[in-house]
């Protein structure tokens, strides 16, 4: 056995017998540390002639490797033993109650959107969607608001610098109405859809946030008239507010995409300083609250969407979902909806496991 093999043999035996991690570390320093004996041997290589180095280097390298391997192997053994020992002494008290897992809740906006989808499903409406980053053409032009139309100014639009494929700039949709056009183009007629979703306007105070939610309704068929619109809105609002006592007032209005256009008000009473929906707004102590915009789809919009307005007519409406949630569940500051404050969410949120089902899906009550 060469001198170096002898050293490797002895060192391996000592290392294998190291009693604990501290003893092992001391041995590592002794052999491989800066001042270690093997490090010393490695340093002598530098002073040798090339021939001598070629002769001696392999044996010294092999010694270093053997010792390093032995150190690693013993370290693994000692650590495993330490873990075993800990597991043997520590116990786990399985009778301790687990800390309560924080439970999320359904945001009132999601809850209301689900309720609306449920109500309109009963009336035969499918849910349609469209992009939030929208083309000027769908958001305005095809809704009968050409480039210079004054109604555009009322939308406080967020524009992107990018040019839109169909002209103008790309933008964040300011309403869900472009989904009307997209769905008519994609699916033709007849059609019965709602389109819930996020919309954006550069506006912020207690009742306006730059992002809010709308739900659009659209019916396209033959022989559709205002009576269908009024019945649909009444039926939906009674189901949503879970009361038969809903009185609507249709007021002439103007939207570029409907003709005629009506604004729909709902009657309320004041109880303990709070507005409670119900009854005619004309009764003493009552009032009318503006709730939504609607009307018969302008024939220009039907044409833009590629349908023949002499054959197809329809009605449309748009409602603020946040507003509906505030009215039904009694919140008064819209900004709190989007602050993400978990105290607000756990107060106003809904349990995903314990959904308060609508007592009156459409027709379920009677
Ligand atoms: N898009 C309108 C807005 O955001 C709301 C609206 C009014 C939608 C009348 C409609 C409608 O579909 O017929 O102000």
> pLDDT digit string (tens) for 74-119?
999 999 999 999 999 998 888 989 888 888 899 999 999 999 999 9
> What is the residue with the minimal CA distance to atom 6 of ligand 1?
318
- 102 DSSP 8-state letter: P
Helices (H), 222-266: 226-241
Task: Quote the pLDDT of residue 355.
Answer: 61
- How many CB atoms are closer than 10 A to CB 364? 11
- Give 129-181 pLDDT, tens digit per residue: 999 999 999 999 999 999 999 989 888 999 999 999 998 899 999 999 999 99
Task: Quote the pLDDT of residue 164.
Answer: 92
Pocket of ligand 1 (CB under 6 A): 175, 177, 216, 255, 258, 293-295, 316-318
Backbone angles phi, psi at 9, to 5 degrees: -60, -50
pLDDT at 360 over 70: no
> What is the residue with the minimal CA distance to atom 5 of ligand 1?
318
- Give 228-242 pLDDT, tens digit per residue: 999 999 999 999 999
CA separation for the pair 77, 13 (Å, rounded)? 14
CA of 265 to the centre of ligand 1 (A): 14
CA of 207 to the centre of ligand 1 (A): 18
CA of 5 to the centre of ligand 1 (A): 90
206: left (phi over 0), alpha (psi -120 to 50) or beta: alpha
Question: 227, 209 in Cβ contact below 8 A?
Answer: no
Question: 184, 220 in Cβ contact below 8 A?
Answer: yes
CA of 363 to the centre of ligand 1 (A): 27
Helices (H), 150-225: 178-187
- 294 Cα nearest atom in ligand 1: 13
- If pLDDT is split at 50, 70 and 90, which confidence band does 356 have? low
Beta strand ranges found along the chain (DSSP E): 126-127, 133-135, 159-163, 169-172, 191-200, 211-221, 248-255, 258-271, 274-277, 286-297, 313-320
Query: Nearest to residue 7, comparing CAs of 32, 36, 48, 38?
Result: 38
Task: Quote the pLDDT of residue 62.
Answer: 92
Q: 137: which 2 tokens?
A: 């053409």
CA separation for the pair 304, 313 (Å, rounded)? 13
CA separation for the pair 17, 75 (Å, rounded)? 11
CA separation for the pair 329, 350 (Å, rounded)? 11
């Amino acid at each position: 056995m060469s001198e170096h093999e002898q050293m490797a043999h002895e060192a391996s035996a000592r290392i294998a017998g190291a009693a604990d991690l501290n003893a092992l570390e001391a041995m590592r320093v002794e052999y491989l540390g800066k001042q270690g004996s093997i490090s010393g041997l490695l340093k002598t290589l530098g002073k040798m002639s090339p021939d001598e180095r070629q002769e001696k280097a392999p044996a010294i390298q092999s010694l270093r490797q053997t010792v390093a391997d032995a150190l690693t192997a013993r370290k693994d053994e000692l650590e495993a033993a330490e873990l075993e020992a800990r597991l043997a002494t520590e116990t786990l008290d399985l009778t301790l109650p687990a800390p309560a897992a924080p439970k999320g809740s359904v945001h009132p906006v999601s809850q209301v959107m689900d309720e609306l989808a449920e109500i309109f499903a009963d009336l035969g409406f499918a849910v349609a969607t469209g992009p939030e980053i929208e083309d000027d053409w769908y958001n305005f032009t095809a809704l009968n608001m050409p480039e210079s139309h004054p109604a555009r100014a009322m939308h406080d639009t967020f524009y992107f610098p990018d040019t839109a494929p169909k002209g103008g700039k790309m933008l964040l949709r300011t309403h869900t109405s472009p989904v009307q056009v997209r769905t008519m183009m994609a699916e033709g007629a007849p059609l019965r859809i709602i389109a819930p979703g996020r919309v954006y306007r550069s506006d912020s105070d207690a009742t306006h946030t730059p992002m809010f939610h709308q739900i659009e309704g659209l019916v396209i068929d033959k022989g559709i008239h205002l009576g269908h619109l009024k019945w649909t809105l009444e039926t939906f609002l009674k189901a949503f507010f879970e009361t038969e006592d809903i009185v609507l007032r249709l007021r002439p209005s103007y939207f570029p995409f409907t003709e005629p256009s009506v604004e729909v008000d709902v009657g309320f009473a004041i109880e303990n300083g709070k507005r409670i929906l119900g009854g005619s707004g004309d009764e003493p102590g009552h009032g009318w609250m503006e709730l939504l915009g609607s009307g018969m789809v302008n024939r220009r919009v039907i044409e833009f969407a590629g349908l023949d307005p002499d054959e197809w007519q329809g009605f449309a409406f748009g409602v603020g979902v946040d507003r509906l949630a505030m009215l039904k569940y009694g919140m008064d500051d819209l900004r709190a909806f989007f602050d993400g404050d978990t105290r607000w969410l756990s107060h106003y949120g809904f349990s995903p496991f314990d959904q308060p089902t609508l007592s009156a899906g459409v027709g379920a009550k009677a």
